[in-house]
Amino acid sequence: MSTHAQHAPHPTGLAQKLADSGLRSTPQRELVYDVLLTKRDHPTADEVFARVKPELPGISLATVYNCLETLVQCDLVRAVNFERGPTRYCPNLCPHAHFHDEATGQTHDIDLPPVLFAKLRAELPAGFDANAVEITFRGKAKTSSN
Amino acid sequence: MSTHAQHAPHPTGLAQKLADSGLRSTPQRELVYDVLLTKRDHPTADEVFARVKPELPGISLATVYNCLETLVQCDLVRAVNFERGPTRYCPNLCPHAHFHDEATGQTHDIDLPPVLFAKLRAELPAGFDANAVEITFRGKAKTSSN
DNA sequence: GTTGCGCCTTAGAATCATTCCAATTCGTTG
DNA sequence: CAACGAATTGGAATGATTCTAAGGCGCAAC
């Protein structure tokens, strides 16, 4: 029965990145990451839990939190926050902004030219050393596709 | 009409703004606002509570939350969030960014030229209508003055 | 191939900020 | 002064997340 590749090695080399940090690749971590890559709608931990459970019924919410934290640590996903709402997770690693639709609660990635990030950084007074910039728009999105 | 102005009418016309929204000016609201204007270090609700209590020992934390919410509603202060930390409050109404010092937890206002805000907005794809932009830097600030 | 050892996962308790609720107080107005 | 609605209050409730203690599991050494 070994001809079935039930878990094809992860397309993006998750096992590799984990190993780089001295961590193991586990079914839970693979699956959580998979879920994030598959539906990139910035799900919350609860939503990830719901998507993962059918596949791995024994998994616990605590583990989902652990896995997400691990993935963030390994720079495989980004944690995103709006106000004090539940943390959302985003597998898009290129610098980008987020648009939070107040009507639907949906989150959209907004690509920005790198030069804009540079210009923002350039505005920091001397003595301020930023290692991250976060940009969030809030408003209504009337995407025809939705 | 007494000649004693025990509570000098608030320098920034809080009573006025409240009235505009059909709300009353109360000692609690005045004091909470005062505290925010006096020390503009982006305090949390708990910190505001602590600063307000000596002046008005009977005040409750719930009231502080209520007052802060009211002030935000009246556009007298802005609520600011970092990650999932407690909400902080900022009486600076001009558009500006925030720098969150990861070492000290301190928050600094960063003024940005309006043109930058405009450029950011201009990057939004058609169909996205933003009514607010939030910009947050994270990193270390080695302010000599502090 | 059994034994350790340490990493992972798990369930449930604990935490923290915030909101909700029902009861009381306060200012105004009638 | 009586009544009404707005504001405040303390405490309970909520929701997301983290902590904790107890197994499990895989892999290396024997």
Which of A88, A104, A119 is the endpoint of a domain? A88
Write the pLDDT tens digit of every residue in A126-146: 999 999 999 999 999 986 554
Q: Is residue B100 part of a domain?
A: yes
Using an 8 Å CB-CB cutoff, list chain A residues near B134: 134-138
Minimum-distance nucleotide, CA of A65 to C1': D17
Cα-Cα-Cα-Cα dihedral sign, residues A61, A106, B92, B116: positive
CA-CA distance, B54 to B35, in Å (whole number)?
12
Confidence of residue A7 (pLDDT cuts 50, 70, 90): very low
**Cβ distance of B139 and A130 shorter than 8 Å:** yes
DSSP state of A103: T
Domain that holds residue A18: 14-88
Within 10 angstroms of residue A26's Cβ, the number of other Cβ atoms is 15
Per-residue pLDDT tens digits for B85-121: 999 999 999 999 999 999 999 999 999 999 999 999 9
For the CA of B29 and the C1' of C7, the distance in angstroms is 53
Q: Which of B125, B101, B99, B97 is nearest to B113 (CA)?
A: B97
Q: Which residues of A58-80 are buried (b: 16+ CB within 10 A; e: fewer)?
A: ebeeebbbebbebbeebebbbeb
Chain centroid offset of residue B87 CA: 10
The total number of structural domains in chain B stands at 2
* Identity of the amino acid at B57: P
DSSP letter at B74?
A: T
Separation between Cα atoms, residue B52 and residue B47, nearest integer Å: 9
Pinpoint the alpha helices (H) of B25-113: 27-38, 45-52, 61-73
One domain, residues B34 and B76: yes
Gap from A109 CA to chain B (nearest CA, Å) = 10
For residue A85, what are its two tokens? 């709402």
Tell me how many residue pairs between chain A and chain B have CB atoms under 8 A apart: 118
Same domain, yes or no: B40 and B75: yes
A84 & A111 share domain: no
Contact B81 A79 (CB under 8 A): no
How far is the alpha carbon of B9 from chain A, nearest alpha carbon, in Å?
A: 33
Verify that B42 and B103 share a domain, yes or no: no
From the C1' of C28, which residue's alpha carbon is nearest? B24
Comparison of pLDDT for A61 and A16, the residue scoring more: A61
Under the banding of pLDDT at 50, 70 and 90, the label for residue A11 is low
Band of residue B11 on the pLDDT scale cut at 50, 70, 90: low
**Angstrom distance, B65 CA to D1 C1':** 34
What is the predicted ipTM? 0.86
